Amino acid sequence: MELFKCSKCKEFKSKDLFSKQSSNSRGFRYDCKSCCNNWSRKYYKENPDKYVERNRYELTEKGIKNRRKANAKWLRNNKDKKRTHSQVAQELKMGRMVKQDCFCGSDKSEAHHEDYSKPLEVVWLCRKHHSQRHKELNRM
């Protein structure tokens, strides 16, 4: 197993303990996930105004207008997906479809469609595995 040295704690750790970062030549961050999380928590506590300022825009009239505009554009461009999502929600509500756990055991699953023309053919995946599946499909 290949080990890498964390730039903050100076410990040697396996590659899976470092977050991906395509801008680095080696493809992942130089500080481990644990050190990165600790730094983020500390920075957030020391600079809460920066986070408030960043999120404040979304509550402004302009931010709300832009979000609505983006949502409307997505709906225009993805009518089949919206229709499929609505059909699954209706089936769940009527009890004709039952939400299942992800293969990893998580009960917080989402309906994944391999083919939107078949709205009731779903694979139940947690958010993590759902995201991974879409990344795989985008690479194809």
- This model's pTM is above 0.75: no
Residue 31 sits in a domain of what CATH number? 3.30.60
How far is the C-alpha of 86 from the C-alpha of 75, rounded, in Å? 12
The number of folded domains in the chain is 2
The verdict on residue 89 lying in a domain is yes
The answer as to whether 56 is a domain residue is no
Residue 42 lies in a domain: yes
Domain carrying residue 8: 3-46
Instruction: Give dist(CA 66, CA 62) in Å, integer.
Output: 6
| pLDDT tens-digit map of 2-16 | 899 999 999 999 988
Could you identify the residue written with the tokens 């209706």? 90
Residue 32 lies in a domain: yes
Question: pLDDT, tens digit, for every residue of 29-88?
Answer: 999 999 999 999 999 899 888 878 778 888 899 989 999 999 999 999 999 999 999 999
